[in-house]
Chain A
Amino acid sequence: GAGVSQTPSNKVTEKGKYVELRCDPISGHTALYWYRQSLGQGPEFLIYFQGTGAADDSGLPNDRFFAVRPEGSVSTLKIQRTERGDSAVYLCASSLAGLHTDTQYFGPGTRLTVL
C-alpha cells in the first residue's frame, strides 16, 4: 500500500479483556516497530521486528503484551487481561531495512481505551 495502515482506528474494551491490534507496513519494508503513546507524551518503544523475528522486545512492559509477524509483513500486537493503564495510542512504523539511519514511516495509530 501507499503507507502504513493500522486497524482498528479506535478500540474500546473492558478491563480484563483480550485485544488484538493490526499493522500493515509499507510493502517491501523488512523492519517493523510498535510504539505506545500516552496523551501529551512522546511515543515509547515496545518491540522491533526484522522480518519474521522479534529482534528487540525490550520495550514490552510485561508478559501481557505479545506481538507476532508470522510472514514478515503484517504484524499483530496482542494484549491480554487489559488494564486501564493500557489505554493509549498504539503506533506502528516500518522502515526499508531497519538500518539506524533508515526513515521510519508511521501509521495513524490505534487508540485503545480500557474501561
Chain B
Amino acid sequence: KNQVEQSPQSLIILEGKNCTLQCNYTVSPFSNLRWYKQDTGRGPVSLTIMTFSENTKSNGRYTATLDADTKQSSLHITASQLSDSASYICVVSRTYGQNFVFGPGTRLSVLP
C-alpha cells in the first residue's frame, strides 16, 4: 500500500533552536519527494522537491535529505523563528500519473 508516515506528530521547540522532522514512505514507483509548509487556515507552500538522484536540498534555513534506499527523508530547520510555527507535510509522488501521497504532517510550534 502506498503510504507516507511522519514523525513526530507534533513538536514544541524554543525560538533559535534547531529541529529535524522525519518522513518514511512506501510509495512505489518513486518519482519525487516534496516538503510543504502549511500555516493554519492556508494552503501548503512548497519548500523543497527532490528526485531519486538527489540526497539533499536546501531552501534558506530548511534542509531536506533523501535516502531512496531506506525510503526515508528528513527536514532540518536551523535557527527556528516564531514564523516557522506550522504543519510540515511530506509528499511523495509516483512515477506514473499525478497521484500524490501526502503524509499527515508534523505540527511544529516555536515558542519565544
Q: Which residues of A contact B45 (CB under 8 A)?
A: 106
- A58 touching B43 by the CB < 8 A rule? no
- B98 touching A106 by the CB < 8 A rule? no
Q: Taking A42-B89, A101-B32 as contacts, is the C-beta distance between A108 and B42 under 8 angstroms?
A: yes
CA distance A105 to B45 in the complex (A): 7
Q: Which residues of A contact B62 (CB under 8 A)?
A: none
Q: Is B86 an interface residue (CB 8 A)?
A: no
- Chain B residue total in the interface (Cβ 8 A): 24
CA distance A100 to B105 in the complex (A): 21
Minimum CB distance partner of A91 in chain B? B43
CA distance A103 to B100 in the complex (A): 13
CA distance A91 to B41 in the complex (A): 11
Minimum CB distance partner of B43 in chain A? A106
- B99 touching A107 by the CB < 8 A rule? no
Q: How many inter-chain contacts with C-beta < 8 Å in the A-B complex?
A: 60
CA distance A41 to B91 in the complex (A): 12
Q: Mark A27-54, 1 if CB is under 8 A from B, else 0.
A: 0000101010000111111001000000
Q: Contact partner of B43 among A4, A41, A44, A101, CB < 8 A?
A: A4
Q: Is B11 an interface residue (CB 8 A)?
A: no
| 22 A–B contacts, CB within 8 A, in A order | A33-B98, A35-B102, A41-B105, A42-B4, A42-B89, A42-B103, A42-B105, A45-B98, A45-B99, A45-B100, A45-B102, A48-B98, A58-B97, A91-B43, A91-B44, A100-B93, A100-B95, A105-B46, A106-B44, A107-B43, A108-B42, A108-B43
Which B residues contact A (CB, under 8 angstroms)?
Answer: 4, 31-32, 41-46, 49, 51, 89, 91, 93, 95, 97-105
